[in-house]
Amino acid sequence: MDQSLLEKLKKWQADRARRDNLEAYRVLPYSVLEEIARRVPQSPEELLEIKGIKEKKLAKYGNDILLITRDDGGEEMVIDLDKQDKIFEVSEYLDLLNESLANLEARVKGEVSSIDMRGNYIFFGLKDKSDESLISCFIWRNDFETSGVNLEEGMEVMLWGYPNVYKPGGRLSFQTKIIELVGEGALKKAYDELKNKLESEGLFAPERKRAIPSFSHKIGLITSHRGAAIGDFTSNLVSYGFEIKFYDSRVEGKQAVFDLVKAVKWFNKKMPELDALVLVRGGGSLESLQAFNTESLVREIANSKIPILAGIGHEKDISLAALVSDKMVSTPTAAAMELSKSWNEAIYKVDEAERNLLSYLSEIFERFEKAKNALHREFEKIGQSIFYGRDKIEMAIKNIYSSFSRLLLNIKEQIRIAENQIKLSNPERQLRLGYSLVSIGGRIVRRVKDVRVGEEVDVKVSDGELKSKIL
Amino acid sequence: MAKETNLTESLKKLEEIVEWFEDQGEVDVEKGIEKVKEGVKLIKASRERLKKVENEFEEVKKELEEEVDK
């Protein structure tokens, strides 16, 4: 690879980017510069063979690039304008002319005339309103459709582009990149018409809308790196490990529609796994929000497989891009809040569940405690009854004892009485009183006939016995 | 995505557990404690995911933007 050529190309890329107010890679990606440095193309045809360079890029940068590569090839090709005696070939001169014309990029306002729709491009005229001045214009159908402005003869439009001479025909035409409407009135009318049209197609219907998933955290962010929206959004997003993939896009004016459409396409193609796309910008007039009211963007959003959250400010009319989005809020800050919501709610829900569970748990413990207390009380009762029981037994024993001893006393007394009675009735006691007891052969003699004469009887007196004979 | 599905799942399960308690007149102690245990696990896991983690910001590389048009 020719390193010095690559350096020259890089310098050119940076200069061109600055002049066109574009990022460098938008002019030509670095990989394309490398390919140019490798192949050193010497003609437009050779340049077209390089991947990444198509008609559009060729028309815009072809001359620039070829000047550098040819310059690199040999000193004799240098075009030096100071050399007044230099004689150009027609093609060479037109190349030089076109290179200079490309610098005359501008917005031009006028009335549309003589529209000529061809296959994938359109010719039309733009006439000055006050005199009859006319410029021929050219637009690719893609760009025409992206613009979303239907050309009608006599309507006032604003074109953004640059002049160019078509080499085979030799005519100058204005290479139109985008067509805008002129004036708030026309913008408002176009807005209303497009809104009605899309509405009748059901594009804004609630049932078309998908929910922005809870706990979305892989986010594709589409906005400009300039402007307050990006800061408002990122600084209001809670820190729960969001992965923000940022696509830098213009958001101001009609031209922004190219970037916005591309951004939605790009994310759907390259990062379909994203949870949501977020499209934000601050508020503005209908004119500055034109891109967001452009049919091509609205349809691109409607076709997005990734749900889209819009936080697009507006003064009066809600932008159609917001209306077609799956969810819309009114500011970039509100978009950040919307995404933070489910996370904040989760914190609250977890806390609440914890409180609930704790109270259920303490309820269970309370029941335990109650059961324990009840058991305690039962035990106490048993203890008490055991205590009382012992008393009773003691009492009973005492009672038994006392009644028993009373019984004994009684018995003793009765025995004593009986003894006395026995004593009193003792026959020997009678003897002492002077009675005597006569017995014969051990039998008591009660009657006279109990004895016969001559028989011996025993006479018992108080102090002994007398052997006596019956006479 | 797994992590987030879990968070959604965990919250759902937590709600179910709380509902279970609400539906019980007299809570079976053993089952109740089982449910509380499960709930505590879910709460712990959810809190883990809900920790503050720095957001990442990255500008995407659009070098291939030309091919997106096709």
pLDDT digits (tens, 9 = 90+) for A432-455: 777 777 888 878 888 888 888 888
Which chain B residues are closer than 8 Å to A237 by Cβ?
Answer: 55
For A:26-85, CB contacts with B below 8 A are 29-31, 52, 54
What is the rounded distance in angstroms from the CA atom of residue B23 to the CA atom of residue B26?
9
Gap from A243 CA to chain B (nearest CA, Å): 5
At A169-188, the pLDDT tens digits run 899 999 999 999 888 888 89
Which is nearest to A227 in space by CA: A331, A102, A355?
Answer: A331
Q: Does the beta-carbon distance from A242 to B40 stay under 8 Å?
A: no
Is the four-CA dihedral A150, A295, A120, A175 of positive or negative sign?
positive
Strand order in the sheet with B56-59: A327-329, A308-312, A276-281, A218-223, A243-248, B56-59
Backbone φ, ψ for residue B57 (5° rounding): -130, 130
Q: Does the beta-carbon distance from A353 to B50 stay under 8 Å?
A: no
Q: SS3 sequence, A281-341?
A: ECCCCCCCCHHHHCHHHHHHHHHCCCCEEEEECCCCCCCHHHHHCCEEECCHHHHHHHHHH
Nearest chain A residue to B57, by CA: A244
Could you tell me the pTM of the whole model?
Answer: 0.61
CA angle B4/A214/A317 to nearest 5° reads 150
B58–chain A Cβ distance below 8 A for any pair? yes
Residue ranges, comma separated, of all CATH 2.40.50.140 domains in chain A are 104-182
Which is nearest to A12 in space by CA: A77, A71, A80, A94?
Answer: A71
A140–chain B Cβ distance below 8 A for any pair? no
Which is nearest to A279 in space by CA: A354, A228, A237, A335?
Answer: A335
- pLDDT of A72 > 70? The answer is no
What is the rounded distance in angstroms from the CA atom of residue A280 to the CA atom of residue A330?
9
Identify the residue whose tokens are 């245990």.
B37
Q: How many CB pairs under 8 A join A and B?
A: 121
What is the rounded distance in angstroms from the CA atom of residue A321 to the CA atom of residue A296?
10
> Is-contact A300 A280, C-beta < 8 A?
no
At A222-249, the pLDDT tens digits run 999 888 899 999 999 888 889 999 999 9
DSSP chain B: -HHHHHHHHHHHHHHHHHHHHHH-SS--HHHHHHHHHHHHHHHHHHHHHTS-BPPEEEEPP-TTHHHHT-
What is the rounded distance in angstroms from the CA atom of residue A328 to the CA atom of residue A310?
5
Residue ranges, comma separated, of all CATH 1.10.150.80 domains in chain A are 3-99
> Is-contact A194 A320, C-beta < 8 A?
yes
Overall residue count recorded for chain B in this entry: 70
Residue with the larger pLDDT of the pair A23 and A210: A210
Q: CATH assignment of A104-182, given 1.10.10.10, 1.10.3720.10, 2.40.50.140, 1.10.1530.10?
A: 2.40.50.140
Overall CATH class of domain A3-99: mainly alpha
Backbone φ, ψ for residue A379 (5° rounding): -60, -45
What confidence category does residue B70 fall into, taking pLDDT thresholds of 50, 70 and 90?
very low
Nearest chain B residue to A261, by CA: B69
- pLDDT of A426 > 80? The answer is no
Rounded mean pLDDT, A24-30: 83
At A276-332, the pLDDT tens digits run 999 999 888 888 888 999 999 999 999 999 999 999 987 778 899 999 999 999 999
A244–chain B Cβ distance below 8 A for any pair? yes
Which chain B residues are closer than 8 Å to A364 by Cβ?
Answer: 27, 29, 32-33, 36
Nearest to B56 among A244, A248, A265 (CB): A244
Q: Which residues contact A132 (CB under 8 A, 6 or more apart)?
A: none
Question: Residue A127's pLDDT is what?
Answer: 93
Question: Residue A433's pLDDT is what?
Answer: 74
Q: Does the beta-carbon distance from A360 to B46 stay under 8 Å?
A: no
- pLDDT of A422 > 80? The answer is no
Tokens describing residue A395: 């009492």
Q: Does the beta-carbon distance from A356 to B21 stay under 8 Å?
A: yes
Is the four-CA dihedral A217, A219, A223, A225 of positive or negative sign?
positive
Lowest mean pLDDT segment, chosen from A69-73, A92-96, A172-176, A233-237:
A69-73
Which chain A residues are closer than 8 Å to B14 by Cβ?
Answer: 349-350, 353
Q: Which helix (H) or strand (E) holds A2?
A: none
Gap from B58 CA to chain A (nearest CA, Å): 5
What is the rounded distance in angstroms from the CA atom of residue A111 to the CA atom of residue A127?
5
Question: Residue A158's pLDDT is what?
Answer: 92
DSSP A212: P
- pLDDT of A80 > 70? The answer is no
B30–chain A Cβ distance below 8 A for any pair? no
Gap from B48 CA to chain A (nearest CA, Å): 11
At B1-58, the pLDDT tens digits run 445 557 888 888 888 888 888 887 777 777 888 888 888 888 888 888 887 778 889 8
Q: Which superfamily is assigned to A186-424 in CATH?
A: Succinyl-CoA synthetase domains (3.40.50.261)
At A370-393, the pLDDT tens digits run 877 888 888 888 888 888 888 888
> Is-contact A159 A152, C-beta < 8 A?
no
Q: Does the beta-carbon distance from B29 to A364 stay under 8 Å?
A: yes
Backbone φ, ψ for residue A178 (5° rounding): -150, 150
Lowest mean pLDDT segment, chosen from A11-15, A273-277, A414-418:
A414-418
What is the rounded distance in angstroms from the CA atom of residue A345 to the CA atom of residue A367?
33
